[in-house]
Structure 1
Amino acid sequence: MSEIDEEEGHTSSIKTPKQLITVVLAAFLFPVLTIILLAQLVTGDRTVDQNDPIYSDEAVAKRLKPVGRLIMASDSPQADENVGVASQAGTVAAPAAAADGADRIKTIYTASCAACHTSGAAGAPKLGDKSTWASRIKSGTDTLYNSAIKGKNAMPAKGGNASLSDADVKALVDYMVSQAK
């Protein structure tokens, strides 16, 4: 070695061209072999029994089946009477063939109102919570009807269910008020 190398204190553990070639090959081969081994670990040694019932066409179709179906308010809800109509606000409308009277209102409430009025989401008064409904009831039924039909704060008009008639919305308000008294 020269005097300059010794004075600066720079020394290398690679002293021969054979050592340099070995280090370069190892630096290339080690990551490549690691990737190959990881790929084998992830994809290898797993046998699939095609006769297993979990791989049957019915089981696969069941797993891939959508959890719901979106029907826009402009679509005809009569096509499937058991499916609710979804509005653009994301809430679900009442089934088209709901029962008459109180059962019908409860069905509409469950489909359109319960998502917010059961949990109190976005400040909605919970069904049956007398303390949160008291001030609203004092404001009068016309005010409640107007808020429900036209929307107020986070609540969209008609609870997001544009297919409801004003009479249905008023009946829903009456139902919710009766639960808070």
Structure 2
Amino acid sequence: MSEAPHGAPIKTPGQLIAAVIAGFAVPIVIIILLAYYVDNTTRTGAGTDELSTQQVAARIAPVAQVNVRDANAPRVYKTGEQVFQAVCAACHASGAAGAPKFGNSGDWAPRIAQGFDTLWKTALSGKGAMPPRGGTSPDDYSDYEIGLAVAYMANHAGANFQDPPKPAPGAANAANAASGAAAAAAASGAAGADANAAQAQAAAAAIAAIPQASSAPAAGGDTQSADASQAGKALYQQVCQACHAAGVLGAPKFGNKADWAPRLKEPMDTVYNYALHGKGQMPPKGGSTAPDADVKAAVDYMVSAAK
């Protein structure tokens, strides 16, 4: 049996040339079409904002930036709402980890019953799963700003708290400087003499920054103010916290029962006398010119927080 002869598909020179061209042209066309398809989704042109000033500036912006601030400029405090949004909302917005939920009267009622000062102190020192100051530092938010956030949250749950007294210009910066100097000395493991020297410098700076004019005696001399509690609290914020907030130079730290226990073993008249006439590194009246009655009220305010 004989097989039929096989015929070649390309029989003429023209067919050969066409086949060679097709062998090169078809893959090239396919590659061009694929490249166009892939690039078409990211291609920019007229009608897009990819080349706008804002978009270009965003693309070439440096990764890190330096903000230069005047250390002597008056501090601009955040509002209670701003502090809440930046710090407290992480837990209080949803009630995470047992935190009283923002706006929930049932969660906040037992806290509100304790009073603003207790809530403020708890926010500063921490409680349960909540770290002190919500995990921030005094350089981030001052005691005053933390107090504003506490009042903001409590008032949205049925309380009627007044905002804490605003620190006098320079007092908050001095307190933060004293706290920072003491913390830096402890962190660096400096010797006792060096740490004491650093604390002494911080305390001196804090006392020197106390505004004398705002604490000038009233016309009535030592006349008790209409609201002694508020007067004592205000004087603490303006003067005493410069050292007592951080426990600078062995000053009994605000709210620390262990620090205040040996002082409270003495009669209150003796404690008043220390505050009025000075003791150790503490100058008379903490370096202010406040009335005696207001100084005693400030002592009462600090003592009540340590009981």
TM-score, normalisation: structure 1: 0.49
TM-score, normalisation: structure 2: 0.30
